[in-house]
């Protein structure tokens, strides 16, 4: 692929779905073994399965791998009910694969991805660090869901998705657009409508209802006890958590509070500080704020309305003090306009 063509794809250039599809197919050979890397969530899982469908019969072998532990009940239910085949990235011998693909993420999003030389990057998050030099790059930040892009690939290939794949893609678009209450394009609506009559919508309800473990309710108590309000912003530090997903649930819950412009929820998972950002996305960007605050000491990024940062505790200069809600407030306020 030429530099010019890469640039056009990275900036969401005006290419047809068929042109993008064939540009993607062109980088593979029949004898290739393909590793598809994802940071597992509904959108990434659905996209990975779609890529596996697109490359079936075109390559020798395809494996989907993820570095993160899947603990959120919705996602566990999705993987189990749709029987999505996955491997932990740490158990995979990456050098044994001739081609590597990353989808619904970018190499700079996680340190573990930065060590891998990807041949194809497909994503809908904002481009980081000016772009990438992979053989194939299709990054379209305007899209509400990466699954929408994969539906376009499938339709360009005249491949009708199975019920299981359609269900995964349908659910992913629902999640990433928050039932189209979050930023989305007409393309997202078109793909959603296409999947509507193919997907098992009753199964989607099962995923949506599997939301939280009873043991996780205690974290809400901690979050509310530590809650601080200031100038239309809510801050809370939850302390050590079994899974960062509970921080997402708490942030989404607090985001429902009236007259709140920003929500910041943090917690400690393993040896990392995890911070979840929420806002209304109106003249604000949670993703840009997360990058301004934490990109130099950890990984950070996201959308206008929602973002996330993960920082090794050793990279934080706390002067011997423990991280607290006041620390979270001080860090974020410093970068707020």
Residue pLDDT, tens place only, 252-281: 999 999 999 999 999 999 999 999 999 987
* Residue 2 pLDDT: 38
Tens digits of residue pLDDT in 70-80 = 988 899 999 99
Q: Which residues in 31-163 belong to E strands, given as ranges?
A: 33-37, 61-66, 87-88, 99-103, 120-123, 136-139
Put the strands of the sheet holding 306-312 in their side by side order: 228-230, 233-240, 262-269, 272-279, 306-312, 299-302
Burial 34-60 (b: 16+ CB within 10 A, else e): bbbbbbbbbbbbbbbbbbbbbbeeebe
pLDDT over 60 (residue 11): no
Nearest to 249 by CA among 281, 283, 272, 215: 215
Query: In terms of DSSP H, where are the helices of 132-278?
Result: 146-156, 163-177, 186-196, 201-209, 217-225, 245-254
- SS3 at position 292: helix
Rounded mean pLDDT, 95-104: 97
Given pLDDT bands bounded at 50, 70 and 90, which one contains residue 124?
A: very high
Nearest to 176 by CA among 77, 302, 260: 302
pLDDT over 70 (residue 9): no
Could you tell me which residue, 111 or 28, shows the higher pLDDT? 28
* Residue 126 pLDDT: 87
Nearest to 307 by CA among 322, 292, 290, 324: 290
Q: Does an H or E element contain 28, and which?
A: none
pLDDT over 50 (residue 7): no
pLDDT over 60 (residue 4): no
d(CA 114, CA 129): 12
d(CA 47, CA 36): 10
Domains defined along the chain, listed by start: 3-209 (3.90.1640.10), 216-333 (3.10.310.40)
- The answer to whether 30 touches 57, Cβ cutoff 8 Å, is no
**252 burial type by CB count under 10 A (0-12 exposed, 13-18 middle, 19+ buried):** middle
Tens digits of residue pLDDT in 144-173 = 999 999 999 999 999 999 999 999 999 999
- The answer to whether 163 touches 33, Cβ cutoff 8 Å, is no
Could you tell me which residue, 59 or 280, shows the higher pLDDT? 59
Given pLDDT bands bounded at 50, 70 and 90, which one contains residue 40?
A: very high
Nearest to 177 by CA among 145, 203, 207, 209: 145
């Amino acid at each position: 692929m030429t530099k010019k063509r890469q640039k056009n794809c990275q900036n969401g250039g005006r290419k047809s779905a068929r042109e993008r599809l064939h540009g993607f197919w062109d980088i593979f050979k029949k004898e290739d073994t393909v590793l598809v890397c994802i940071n597992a969530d509904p959108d990434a899982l659905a996209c990975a399965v779609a890529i596996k469908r697109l490359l079936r019969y075109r390559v020798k072998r395809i494996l989907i791998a993820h570095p993160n532990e899947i603990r959120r009940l919705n996602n566990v239910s999705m993987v189990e009910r749709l029987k999505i085949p996955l491997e932990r990235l740490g158990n995979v011998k990456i050098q044994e694969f001739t081609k590597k693909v990353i989808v619904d993420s970018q190499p700079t999003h996680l340190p573990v991805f930065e060590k891998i030389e990807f041949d194809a990057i497909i994503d809908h998050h904002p481009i980081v660090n000016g772009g990438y030099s992979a053989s194939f790059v299709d990054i379209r930040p305007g899209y509400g869901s990466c699954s929408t892009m994969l539906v376009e690939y499938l339709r360009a290939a005249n491949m009708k998705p199975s019920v299981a794949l359609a269900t995964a893609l349908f659910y992913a678009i629902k999640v990433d657009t928050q039932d189209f209450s979050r930023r989305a394009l007409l393309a997202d609506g078109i793909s959603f409508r296409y999947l509507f009559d193919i997907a098992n919508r009753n199964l989607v309800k099962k995923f949506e209802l599997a939301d939280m473990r009873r043991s996780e309710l205690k974290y809400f108590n901690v979050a509310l006890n530590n809650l601080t309000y200031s100038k239309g912003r809510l801050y809370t530090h939850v302390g050590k958590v079994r899974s960062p997903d509970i921080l997402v649930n708490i942030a989404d819950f607090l985001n429902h509070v009236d007259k709140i412009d920003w929500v910041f929820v943090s917690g400690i998972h393993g040896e990392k500080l995890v911070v979840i950002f929420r806002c209304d996305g109106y003249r604000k960007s949670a993703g840009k704020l997360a990058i301004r605050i934490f990109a130099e000491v950890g990984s950070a990024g996201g959308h206008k309305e929602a973002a996330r940062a993960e920082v090794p505790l050793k990279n934080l200069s706390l002067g011997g003090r423990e991280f607290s809600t006041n620390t979270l407030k001080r860090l974020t306020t410093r970068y707020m306009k």
